[in-house]
Amino acid sequence: MTHPQTALPQHLLSAADLSRDNALLVLDTAEELARVADRPIKKLPTLRGRTVVNLFFEDSTRTRTSFEVAAKRLSADVINFSAKGSSVSKGESLKDTALTLEAMGADAVVCRHGASGAPHRLAHWIRGSVVNAGDGTHEHPTQALLDAFTMRSRLGRLEALRVAIVGDVLHSRVARSNVLLLSTLGAEVTVVAPPTLLPVGVEHWPCAVSYDLDGVLPKSDVVMMLRVQRERMYGGFFPTTREYSRRYGLDARRMATLPDDAIVMHPGPMNRGVEIAAEVADSVRSTIVEQVANGVSVRMAVLYLLLGGAFVSDMAGAGADVA
Ligand code: NCD
């Protein structure tokens, strides 16, 4: 693999920031770095002396721990900042918080925030790199990268792969980032949802739109189920949970209509029994646990490349004796 002259932009705020070459660079670097996870000592010296701040204003299990593990495996110093217990609860603004972190010499700030666009604002105030770890209902680019990585490693390709993204597209930053990244990488995406859970302007997204899950499943190589995001719902988007599951939930009967080697994905956290049945989540087609493991490799690749690394073939091997 060669990646001539490819470097990431300073920040990773949107999946649209990534050209096809950049996205492939991240995926290939992640593949190299994944080998570190198989070694008894899972550490590389690459980011020794660099500081990564995890700035989380919204709850998170997978994404926060995954960025933390990723940074630590690259030997960076990690500061975990959560809004609870900080001066943010005393009313300190995002800008003042940012300037404080800047004064402490953060090389990268990984930011999750309930407001769409918060990481973009942050990028104006910070000299280091800003990584968007989920902003409101807007974007979650590293989730899209780890999803693409998982599809490629399970199915061997992304080009012309038929991907259905199903459920609460309206509130999902995962859906938007995936549509953008997957279309850059040549996959054919269809978003499937009831009309009330599709955002205004979805017809301009680089994907097809359908309301008919049963029609789409037999033509899908990948089906990605989205969580019904009740915490972002302030009205009635569907009659009852039961009705939603009946029309848009993935149960074993529906899963059986997928092509033989199709996979089922979910970014987590799942509402078992709502958008996905337990037997589907725990089936051999499900990549849900793999997605979490791949998240670490992909975030290692993102931090490594943003903080100045170039693609190194067999990096895991190269770092082995120094770690
Ligand atoms: C997602 C998120 O927070 O955007 N989860 C995640 O990062 N793995 C999806 C969700 O909350 O439904």
Residue-wise pLDDT for 212-241, tens only, equals 999 999 999 999 999 999 887 766 888 889
Active-site residue (options: 3, 39, 43, 62): 62
Q: Are residues 188 and 114 in the same domain?
A: no
Specify whether 63 is catalytic: yes
271 lines ligand 1 (CB under 6 A): no
163 and 270 co-located in one domain: yes
pLDDT reported for residue 323: 36
Domains in the chain, number: 2
| 3: confidence class by pLDDT, cuts 50, 70, 90 | low
Nearest 5°: phi and psi at 299? -75, -30
pLDDT band at 321 (very low <50, low <70, confident <90, very high): very low
Strand 222-225 and strand 188-192: the pairing is unpaired
Query: What's the 264 CA to ligand 1 centre distance in angstroms?
Result: 16
Query: Is 94 domain-assigned?
Result: yes
Q: Residue 267 domain-assigned?
A: yes
Q: Are residues 224 and 282 in the same domain?
A: yes
Which range among 27-36, 52-61, 145-154 has the greatest average pLDDT? 145-154
Lowest mean pLDDT among 2-11, 75-84, 94-103: 2-11
Ligand 1 pocket, 134 CB below 6 A?
yes
Query: Has residue 7 been placed in a domain?
Result: no
Does the residue 1 lie in any domain?
A: no
CA-268 nearest atom, ligand 1: 8
* 149 and 280 share one domain: yes
CATH code for the domain of 127: 3.40.50.1370
Q: Would residue 19 count as lying in a domain?
A: yes
- Has 219 been annotated as catalytic? no
Pocket test for ligand 1, best of 67, 140, 149, 169 (most atoms within 8 A of CB): 140
Task: Mark whether 92 and 69 lie in a shared domain.
Answer: yes
Residue 5 lies in a domain: no
Domain region containing 41 = 15-139+292-318
Residues 270 and 145 in one domain: yes
Any domain includes 6:
no
State pLDDT tens for residues 133-145. 999 999 999 999 9
Whether 133 and 147 share a structural domain: no
Asked whether residue 186 carries a pLDDT value surpassing 90, the answer given is yes
> 285: pLDDT confidence band, cut at 50, 70 and 90?
very high
**Residue 8 falls within a domain, yes or no?**
no
Annotated catalytic residue, options 90, 124, 127, 204:
90
Count of residues making up the chain: 323
171 a catalytic residue:
no
Q: Are residues 114 and 206 in the same domain?
A: no
Q: Is 108 in the same domain as 154? A: no
Nearest CA-CA partner of 165 in 155, 151, 157: 151
pLDDT, position 102: 85
315 pLDDT tier (thresholds 50, 70, 90): low
Verify that 66 and 146 share a domain, yes or no. no
Do 221 and 96 share a structural domain? no
Mean pLDDT score, 292-296: 96
Other C-beta atoms closer than 10 Å to the C-beta of 120 total 17
Residues 6+ apart with CB under 8 A from 181: 15, 18, 23, 141, 144, 145, 148
Assess whether the C-beta atom of 232 lies below 6 angstroms from ligand 1.
Answer: no
For ligand 1, say whether the CB of 63 is within 6 Å of any of its atoms: yes
Do 279 and 193 lie in a common domain? yes
What's the 49 CA to ligand 1 centre distance in angstroms?
A: 30
Ligand 1 in reach of 174 Cβ (< 6 A): yes
